[in-house]
Amino acid sequence: MRRTKLVTRPGFDWSLVAWGRPDSPRSALCSYCRAGIGEYDVPLMLWKNDGHAAQFCDECVEKWFTSEDESDRTKNNTAQRWRR
């Protein structure tokens, strides 16, 4: 299975991410937009090297995260636009 690396889109502000301490209980809120995450929703979880964790609701994932492959495609499109 191929692993795609997640990258953030332009405009995403890492300073707005509320990183939870490693020993704090899991929050029910999105770490970025503070929207509630349903009990049965599966948020995107990210961990920093120091163990701090953040979770992102579906909306934020759709809005701010993309795979590296997709951003490569965008770059190519941009390059094509500039060539004209």
Number of residues that bind Zn ion (CB under 5 A): 6
Closer CB to Zn ion, 62 or 70, in the complex: 62
Least Å distance between CB 51 and Zn ion?
21
DSSP conformational letter for 69: H
Regarding beta strands 65-67 and 44-47, do their DSSP bridges make them parallel or antiparallel, or are they unpaired?
A: unpaired
Q: Provide long-range contacts, Cβ within 8 A and 24+ apart, for 13-17.
A: 17/54
Q: Is 33 in the site for Zn ion (CB under 5 A)?
A: yes
Q: Is 60 in the site for Zn ion (CB under 5 A)?
A: yes
Rg (C-alpha) for the chain, rounded Å, is 15
Binding site for Zn ion (CB under 5 A): 30, 32-33, 35, 57, 60
